Amino acid sequence: MKARRKKITLSLSSITVLSVTAAAVIAVSVCIGIFASVYSKALLRDARVSTEQTADQTALFINNYLSGMKEKLNLINGIVSDTETSEELSGRISALTYIQNDIYAVTVYGKNGEIVSCTGSGAALKGSIYKDASFDKELFETSGGYILSAPHVQTLFENEYPWVVTLAVKTDEPVFENGAYIAIDFNFSEIAKYISSIGVGRQGYCYITDISGNIVYHPQQQLLFSGLKDEDVKPISKMTDGTKSEKDKIYTVKTSDGGNWRIVSVAYTGELAAERRTQIIISVAITVLSCAAVLLIVLAVYSKIVNAPVKALIREIKQFERNANGFTFSGGDETVKELRVISSTFGHMTGRIKQLMEQVRREETELRKTELKALQAQINPHFLYNTLDSIQWMCERGKTEDAAKMVSALARLFRISISKGRELIPIKDELRHAENYLLIQSYRYKDQFTYSFDVDESLCGYLCNKITVQPLIENAIYHGLDRLVDEGEIKITVKQAPDDRNDILITVSDNGVGMTKEQCEAILKKERSDSSGIGVKNVNDRLKIYFGDKYGLTIESELDVGTSVTVRIPKQEVPKQ
């Protein structure tokens, strides 16, 4: 039959708190979801606008700068046309470059790139030029109108290596006999400084490419050259002017006037997400604080009429767990009806538990007494029968003296076993009981074993459980010496425990056949049998019942060497009368 599920019940106050909390959580979650969606779209829209504006402003600057360069080139072209010699040109250009700081050098090139005239810088022109990066023959020949080079290092003058961009134009007729091109090297630092100063958000930037997608200038150019940063220009080279989102970036591309350069503005959506998270967190915090203020008012009332009584009841329960006997419950005046019922029920339950505990305590005491008496009463009937049979045999053969000693020893054995109903007897009486048992067994096992006592007399007045040593001697005779060919030996030792001066060790050792470790462990678990009398296990159980788990028996044995059984008991003096 399928078990019936237990129905969960909640009080009205719990339902109220849960309902208010759930409504607040749902409302906050919906608001946060709507806010996050709207705010995310707004951020992305603003980011696109920002990149477009940055690209437009940069393109405007570049266009103005290039227009200025073209105007200066046209001016110098006119000067060259009006000049008859290169020396005259050098003088006029030197004056111009002194005024115009952005012009580094003016060079007249022949058709194949040979320098016809070069003026500027103020430094001396090199006698031997390995490579003139300002003249790109293929670029000069294929370009129509104005010729614009990529930024490069100029190497025409001694000990000067400026970063320049070359703007050139082809002359209508030869200049100074073989001059075909007029070129101006402009300092690129102004453009580089402006591009480097531009930021789009916290991580965004601008850079310039040519129409083929090659990078003309990048604010992180050194990182690109060293391989620490990689700028993927492939999607940019395929883009037309406009804005496009690519992975975690937003790109805006704007082509300069003349189509030589393209300005690329880059914004990172990752930092927008971080900003979005920050705003959402702030919004969540404000909303949660507002809801928390309302909930606190509700919970303050709830705590006063529900929480406080519940905590008081929990304290009563814990106090009952710690000290059930001395517990007195005082409750039942709670405001909430459900709590008053629980409190009253707990009061009735604690009273009933105390009654049951007292009943169990009485029953355990009686059971313990009964168990001890049952253990003490387990005298082996075979031992009594064999002893009386030995006495009869002695009488029939005229060994009346030995028979009398055996009868006397048996009488003392029973007298000490009874001990007027006392469980604890002095150690000296227990040893006398053991000695009487050994005397009887020595008559039965004539010349098969000897025995001896090594006793600290100062310990004989302390108490021990009666019939403790005799079962151990019985076990030594039946299981240790009975199968021994040579003469056996049993030794009983009583001494103070070396590890605790408040304990006493009683050891029964023999030189019998010995046992394995497994047999030693099994013997402490073996119940009484006809051949083992009260049993080693029963002795161990009695000691632990009476004195605690610290006390009892330990067995040490080695095959063909012998066995030692040690009894540990506490020092317990005879109570004064």
| 86 lies in some domain | no
Task: Determine contact, residues 488/512, Cβ cutoff 8 Å.
Answer: yes
CATH number at residue 414: 3.30.565.10
Q: Is residue 42 part of a domain?
A: no
**Same domain? 361 vs 498:** no
In a domain, 59, yes or no: no
Following CA atoms 39, 44, 47, 52 in sequence, which dihedral angle do they give, to the nearest 10 degrees?
-140
**Do 272 and 44 form a contact (C-beta atoms < 8 A)?**
yes
- Do 333 and 396 fall into the same domain? no
Residues 460 and 352 in one domain: no
Write down the pLDDT at residue 530. 44
Does residue 470 share a domain with residue 328?
Answer: no
pTM, rounded to two decimals:
0.45
Handedness of CA 12, 13, 16, 19 (dihedral sign): negative
Q: What domain range is 459 assigned to?
A: 377-570
| Same domain? 529 vs 557 | yes
Residue 335 lies in a domain: yes
Cβ count within 10 A of residue 88: 12
Same domain, 403 and 454: yes
Domain-terminating residue out of 334, 358, 373? 373
Q: What does the pLDDT read at residue 533?
A: 43
Looking at the domain assignment, is residue 192 inside a domain? no
Does residue 200 lie within any of the structural domains?
no
Q: Quick one: 387 and 338 in the same domain? A: no
Residue 535 lies in a domain: yes
Same structural domain for residues 362 and 385?
no
Q: Are residues 443 and 455 in the same domain?
A: yes
**Residue 352 belongs to a domain:** yes
Domain identity same for 450 and 504? yes
pLDDT tens for the chain, 577 residues long, are 455 565 566 655 566 667 767 777 787 777 777 777 776 677 777 777 888 888 888 888 888 888 888 888 888 888 887 887 777 777 787 777 777 778 888 888 888 888 888 887 677 788 787 788 888 888 888 877 888 888 888 888 888 888 888 888 888 788 777 878 888 888 888 888 888 888 777 778 888 888 878 888 888 888 888 878 888 787 777 788 888 887 778 888 888 887 778 888 888 776 666 666 676 677 777 777 777 777 777 777 777 777 677 777 777 778 777 777 777 776 666 677 777 777 778 778 877 887 888 888 778 767 766 765 665 555 555 556 667 777 787 787 777 887 787 788 777 777 766 655 577 889 998 898 888 888 888 887 877 889 999 999 999 999 998 888 988 998 888 888 877 778 889 999 999 999 999 999 999 999 988 888 888 888 887 655 544 445 788 888 888 888 888 999 999 999 888 999 999 999 998 877 5
Tally the domains of the chain: 2
- Return d(Cα 339, Cα 345) in angstroms, integer: 10
Residues 418 and 539 in one domain: yes
349 and 434 together in one domain: no
Q: How far apart are CA 410 and CA 386, in angstroms?
A: 12
Q: What angle do CA 156, 157, 162 make, to 5 degrees?
A: 80
